[in-house]
Amino acid sequence: MSEDKAAETTALGSNEDATRGYYDSSDVDAFYDAVWGGEDIHTGVYAHDAEPVADASRRTVERLADRLADHLRPGRSVLDLGSGYGGTARYLAERFGCRVVALNLSAAQNERHRAANAKRGLDGLIEVVTGSFHEVPYAADHFDAVCSLEALCHSDDRARALSEAVRVLKPGGGLAFTDIMADESASAEALHPVVSRLGVAALATPSFYLRLLTDLGLTSVDFDDHSAHIARHYVRLNEDTRAREAELRTTISPAYVDTLLANLPLWVDATRAGRLRWGIFSARHTVD
């Protein structure tokens, strides 16, 4: 292996270690469980400002699934990159009757994910695999669709993750993903205090993804810009966390609750100032 390649692999390894450590921590797990309810962990599409986080987050899954509806049915398969507690995997399996492979770094989340699938009788359709989207453990042209919800923001090499997604997609297959991004005008310095929680140097921008998807040879590339919802989302998270502070302190370490109470307002400010963007990308693999 060349020195450059070895350095790249080491950097990615420490990026993944940081993410794994974050999601495997009992504090983070307890926070996500309390605020989202153990299904989804991503930005919601809000019907109104006071809508519960869990309901709005479920709407995001529905919207993303609509983008893949032409590709999924019984006998077809979809890969979910960075699958969290498996809310998306269960929704896709139930709605389309398709097979789902849920790939995720966090062994702690994967354990909960498998238990929830078994409880819902979906373990026959969903396979939960521990691994990284930087090196997807499947052969080329394997899946009818690939999706990812708010996981690429943790990556220090998003081009590699998306080229892996395209590699395992069958010709004609569909790709859909959401991500938290920086506005093109936001400086890395302005976003640093906000983004440091994610363990990455910087976020992608919408134009980065649009260019990358085209460069990867995909067609029908589209971005449904839902940036207004990320501001609503962080207002809701901040309000919920403050309203439930006493209860959260019984399941989460006081130090982590303090970190949340300090960090969430930074996200509210950044989203209100338009420094963060969010939405749903979709594209189709070209038919050879």
Ligand X SMILES: C[S@@+](CC[C@H](N)C(=O)[O-])C[C@H]1O[C@@H](n2cnc3c(N)ncnc32)[C@H](O)[C@@H]1O
Q: Provide the binding-site residues for ligand X, judged by CB under 6 A.
A: 16, 19, 23, 40-42, 82-84, 87-88, 103-106, 109, 132-134, 149-151, 154-155
* Residue placing its CB nearer to ligand X in the complex, 74 or 166: 166
Nearer to ligand X (CB atom), residue 45 or residue 246: 45
Report the length, in residues, of the chain.
Answer: 288
Residue in the shown chain whose Cβ atom is closest to ligand X: 84
Give the number of other CB atoms < 10 A from CB of residue 220.
12
Rank residues 84 and 174 by Cβ distance to ligand X and give the closer one. 84
- Tell me how far, at minimum, the Cβ of 176 lies from ligand X, in Å: 12
Task: Please report which residue ranges of 74-187 form alpha helices under DSSP H.
Answer: 87-96, 107-119, 158-168
Give whichever of 19 and 241 is closer to ligand X, judged by the CB atom: 19
Q: Which one-letter DSSP state was computed for residue 127? A: E
- Distance in Å, CB of 213 to ligand X, minimum: 19
The CB-of-236 to ligand X minimum distance in angstroms stands at 16
Question: Tokens representing 68?
Answer: 């893949």
C-alpha to C-alpha distance for 236 and 171, rounded to whole angstroms: 40
**Minimum CB distance to ligand X smaller for 158 or for 232:** 158
Q: Minimum Å distance from CB 51 to ligand X?
A: 17
Nearer to ligand X, 98 or 171 (CB): 98
Q: Among candidates 150, 153, 202, 138, which has minimal Cα distance to 43?
A: 150
Residue 193, classified by CB atoms within 10 Å of its CB into exposed (0-12), middle (13-18) or buried (19+), is: middle
Q: What is the closest distance, in whole angstroms, from the C-beta atom of residue 174 to ligand X in the complex?
A: 17
Structural tokens at position 199: 């363990």
Least Å distance, CB 264 to ligand X, is 15
Bridge partner list, 241: none
Minimum CB distance to ligand X, residue 103 (Å): 6
Q: Which are the contacts of 52, defined by CB distance < 8 A and separation ≥ 6?
A: 236
Q: Cβ closer to ligand X: 109 or 241? A: 109
Tell me how far apart the alpha carbons of residues 198 and 196 are, in angstroms, rounded to a whole number: 5
For 182, left (φ over 0), alpha (ψ -120 to 50), or beta?
beta
In this structure, the strands spanning 276-284 and 169-182 are antiparallel
How far is it, in rounded angstroms, from Cα 223 to Cα 281?
4
